[in-house]
Structure 1
Amino acid sequence: MSAVDFGAFVAELASESGRAILPFFRAHHAMEDKSAGGVFDPVTEADRAGENIMRHLIKRSFPAHGVLGEEFGNDNTDAEYVWVLDPIDGTRAFISGIPVWGTLIGLTRAGTPVYGMMHQPFTGERYSGDGREARYDGPGGARKLRTRQAAGLASATLMTTSPALFKGDEAAAYARVESQVRLARYGCDCYAYCMLAAGHVDLVIESGLKPYDIVALIPIIEGAGGIVTSWEGGSAAGGGRVIAAASKPLHEAALALLAGQG
């Protein structure tokens, strides 16, 4: 089965997880802090409900597949196909009632991301891709996604979840890039990457990501013509320090600044 053949199943995962999650949005519900006294890291009943239903459907439909999820850990991750799930990417926005969160559903084959979807059930938006093409489905109608081609850093829009992600040398490296762009905006988590794929944002730079934060987004951005790598230019599938760019020249220019070469 090719990656694209999983599209209908991913759509089912999105629909069912959305039905499980939405009743908790802008409602009173239990929340825990996973940080054990560190940086606030919330998890809600909605996170667990969304991941539970996706795991159930995967196990029922593809029992030989593995699953890597934010809330319930790893299962059979040595399998050829592994699902990488984040039921609510942007939990801080979710608990604040702000609709810039989404459900991330990624699929890897032999460790390589081959299909991904970001679903925002409150707004009814879906961004999906298989590395060769990407599409949007939602308000305004369906369309293919394409990144825009900024002339250079001076005309680019940069996003990150928060400058507080970066410490020490990383903070200085990020600041070198931000100082060169036209506009920098903070927040949005997975939405920032989808806005890059849709042609509204040119760069996203982050650190400290987990695989479930980025795997689903890689095939979307690459399918729209963008580039996603580590800060060293390698695979971003393992998380860590990640840069996404709308074009190769922009990617190269930002990488050079991150490395202190600009």
Structure 2
Amino acid sequence: MTLSADRLAALDAFVIDLNKASAAAILPLFRADHGLEDKGAGKNLPRDTHAAFDPVTEADRGAEAAIRALIAERYPEHGVIGEEYGEDRPDAEFVWVLDPIDGTRAFISGLPLWTTLIGLRHQGRPVLGSIGQPFTEELFIGHAGGARLIARGESTPIRVRECSNLNDAVIATTDPDACFDGAERGAWLQVRAASKLARLGCDAYAYAMVAMGKMDMVIEAGLKSWDIEAAIPLVEAAGGVVTNWRGEAIGPNGGQMVISGDRRPLDEALVSLKRSAK
């Protein structure tokens, strides 16, 4: 069943409310005493693995709790999948997919590169997504009705930019040493060598920059559903493409991912990425 324009508009307004609720829980703790814990402690993992240090703060948990409470109040029949509190009715017609703070390492370092990711599945398909950065007062929203940035009281349509080849592309990943295995890192290095410029450590904020037409491509691996689902409707609504490393649609469990504003540099990058696709 296709979502009506009226239903989509109501959900669009609701996702703004969800971002306000999460911001109210997060902002008082940013650059303050955030109650840091390490979810990776006690797992006996090598210190050079991505999961060895897995930080979570009171802000992560408080924001997700606030979002879940508002969903339960407004749409009690909806399901929720969240990083901090797991699954609740994941097979419902509508399911919210939440990462209250994507980029917790940036958050605990005082860097305003963390974001709140809120995605919505309808009948198993991502249909609405937002990337919010309340410290900089930016909220990116995308769905079938279009993509826009709400910032400091103004709403502006956004669009990916054209990029004819990989040599002209500005690309990003979070941390190639921590997030990629050996083969994946080799593929990343090949793509990086062919690109014009690479930026590291931007987490999901880089997804928004592709949608806004400021960057051209983001390459990641080892993602969970809450790391990527909010970005899919946003980037696609802005005219971009989201695929796995085989060039196929991202599945419901995340994994390897490429976001590209223009299809042409993506096709070039996939020549290298497909060799390490899982």
Alignment TM-score, normalising by the size of structure 1:
0.96
| AA in 2 matched with 1:242 | M
Correspondent of 2:39 among 26, 34, 38: 34
1:136 partnered with 2:149:
yes
Query: In 1, distance between residues paired with 2:164 and 2:248?
Result: 24
- 1:47 counterpart SS class: helix
- 1:231 counterpart SS class: coil
Query: In 2, distance between residues paired with 1:40 and 1:30?
Result: 15
Asked if structure 1 preserves the Cα contact closer than 8 Å seen for 2:112 and 2:135, the reply is: yes
Query: In 1, distance between residues paired with 2:207 and 2:106?
Result: 16
Q: Counterparts of 1:165-184 in structure 2 under 5 Å?
A: 165-184=179-198
Corresponding residue of 2:18: 13
Asked if structure 1 preserves the Cα contact closer than 8 Å seen for 2:166 and 2:266, the reply is: no
Deviations 1:79-101 (A, max 9, x none): 01100001101100000111011
- 2:194 counterpart SS class: coil
Corresponding residue of 1:231: 245
Of 74-83 and 242-251, more deviation after overlay is shown by 242-251
Asked if structure 1 preserves the Cα contact closer than 8 Å seen for 2:164 and 2:262, the reply is: no
1:159 partnered with 2:172:
yes
Asked if structure 2 preserves the Cα contact closer than 8 Å seen for 1:68 and 1:83, the reply is: yes
Corresponding residue of 1:84: 97
Correspondent of 1:253 among 251, 257, 268: 268
1:215 partnered with 2:220:
no
Measured on the aligned residues, the alpha-carbon RMSD in Å equals 1.5
- 1:68 counterpart SS class: strand
CA deviation after TM superposition for structure 1 residue 63, in Å: 1.1
Asked if structure 2 preserves the Cα contact closer than 8 Å seen for 1:47 and 1:71, the reply is: yes
Query: In 2, distance between residues paired with 1:48 and 1:260?
Result: 38
Asked if structure 1 preserves the Cα contact closer than 8 Å seen for 2:171 and 2:199, the reply is: yes
Query: In 1, distance between residues paired with 2:261 and 2:181?
Result: 25
Asked if structure 2 preserves the Cα contact closer than 8 Å seen for 1:131 and 1:221, the reply is: no
Query: In 1, distance between residues paired with 2:175 and 2:144?
Result: 27
Query: In 1, distance between residues paired with 2:247 and 2:21?
Result: 36
- 2:270 counterpart SS class: helix
Q: Which runs of 5+ in 2 are unaligned?
A: 46-51
CA deviation after TM superposition for structure 1 residue 5, in Å: 2.8
Corresponding residue of 1:109: 122
Asked if structure 1 preserves the Cα contact closer than 8 Å seen for 2:163 and 2:264, the reply is: no
- 2:13 counterpart SS class: helix
Q: Which runs of 5+ in 1 are unaligned?
A: none
| AA in 1 matched with 2:160 | T
Query: In 2, distance between residues paired with 1:190 and 1:223?
Result: 17
CA deviation after TM superposition for structure 1 residue 188, in Å: 1.1
Alignment TM-score, normalising by the size of structure 2:
0.90
Query: In 2, distance between residues paired with 1:149 and 1:250?
Result: 10
| AA in 1 matched with 2:213 | G
Number of positions where the alignment pairs a residue of Structure 1 with one of Structure 2 = 261
- 1:177 counterpart SS class: helix
Query: In 2, distance between residues paired with 1:242 and 1:210?
Result: 10
Asked if structure 2 preserves the Cα contact closer than 8 Å seen for 1:131 and 1:218, the reply is: no
CA deviation after TM superposition for structure 1 residue 142, in Å: 2.2
Of 250-259 and 69-78, more deviation after overlay is shown by 250-259
